[in-house]
Amino acid sequence: MYPRQQHSSLSISSPTLKRKMEKAAAEESLFKKYLRIFAVVTAYWAVSISLVFINKALLSGSTNGTTVDAPLFVTWFQCVVTVGLCVVLAFGAKFFPNSGKFPQLGLDVQVMLKVLPLSLVFVAMISFNNLCLKYVGVAFYYIGRSLTTVFNVLMTWVLLGEKTSFSALVCCAIIVGGFWLGVDQEGVAGSLSISGTIYGVLASLFVSLNSIYTKKVLPFVDQSIWLLGYYNNLNACLLFLPLMLLNGELPTLMSFSGYGNLTFWTMMVAGGVFGFAIGYVTGLQIQVTSPLTHNISGTAKACAQTVLATYWYSELKPFLWWISNWVVLFGSAAYTRVRQQEMEKNHKSKVIAS
């Protein structure tokens, strides 16, 4: 009887032990998932905020030898670094043929011409973006560029014929209200730059156009984001050359005395690397979370960036200035939520119809 009792005891305890092991494995897997999400979101915040502060220091910093009054040159150099990194990664991928992470690169003139419309929008976007950052403080930068959502709604209606719900339009109105309040309070604080604000509005317009044209051009590069980035930045490198001449930056570059400054080149290369990395970490954040979470993360990052900038540059802002930031943040978050609900509703309607 004793051996049978021992066998019975083992048969009872074995399933219990198996369930415990499965539970422990599931908890460990969930922990690893949350850890990865935390690491990716942290990387996105670090890269995005660092890029803004580096560009601000390069474009209008106070340190001699590290600031050059040539925003198009700074932007051009970052595009050159991006193309260089694409070539390096493509070369490295040859040694890992099974990775499938990076496509082979070439120099297809036909593809360059097909990507050209996007490149024109891209050049305008990053040019106005850096010009905005040159003339406004990092703290006001988020408000100055806050109309992207509004232009996105407007351009999708004008170019794609897509209508927007009343709830989404209300959210856009809130964002516009926050923008105007922020501009007014920046004037009260005595730090308003009209040209910087105009550049910010234009940057917002071209950011919305960039997302639309990206969808149109992706089929020409087999839906490869990496390949699109390569050809887009390659076109931009060529487009910026005449623009730098027309903008009168050549005399500035010829008289610039900071070429022997190691800090200047370190910041220039770092700006290029972070500019390249922001596209990767943005896609990665969307992949490990969702487009909604990415938008929420971006909104929270903008808030943290604003607070950090006021502390870093020792800026004191009036109460209503802070209210304008919260109004824009609320309107942006509300718009994201409304769009998510609309997409879920449309998806359910298609499922029921099928």
Could you report the per-residue pLDDT of 140-166, keeping only the tens digit for each? 888 888 888 888 888 888 887 888 888
Average the pLDDT over each of 197-211, 296-310, 324-338, 340-354 and give the range with the smallest value: 340-354
Residue 21 has pLDDT above 70, yes or no: no
* Torsion region of 163: left, alpha or beta (phi above 0 gives left; psi -120 to 50 gives alpha): beta
Average pLDDT score, the chain = 82
Which pLDDT band holds residue 9 (cuts at 50, 70, 90)? very low
CB 125 within 8 A of CB 203: yes
- Quote the tokens at residue 197: 């604000």
Contacts of 337 (CB under 8 A, 6+ apart): 292
| Percent of the chain whose predicted confidence (pLDDT) is above 70 | 84
Could you tell me which of 143, 128, 133 has the C-alpha nearest to residue 179? 143
- pLDDT tens, position by position, 313-352: 888 888 898 999 899 889 888 888 888 787 777 767 776 7
**Interatomic CA distance for residues 164 and 141, integer angstroms:** 27
Which pLDDT band holds residue 354 (cuts at 50, 70, 90)? low
- pLDDT tens, position by position, 22-51: 666 655 677 777 788 888 888 989 998 998
Average the pLDDT over each of 25-34, 45-54, 105-114, 190-199 and give the range with the smallest value: 25-34
The model's pTM is 0.80
Per the listing, tokens 């730059």 go with: 193
**Interatomic CA distance for residues 157 and 212, integer angstroms:** 11
- Higher-confidence residue of 328 and 11: namely 328
253 residue type, one letter:
L
**Interatomic CA distance for residues 327 and 312, integer angstroms:** 23
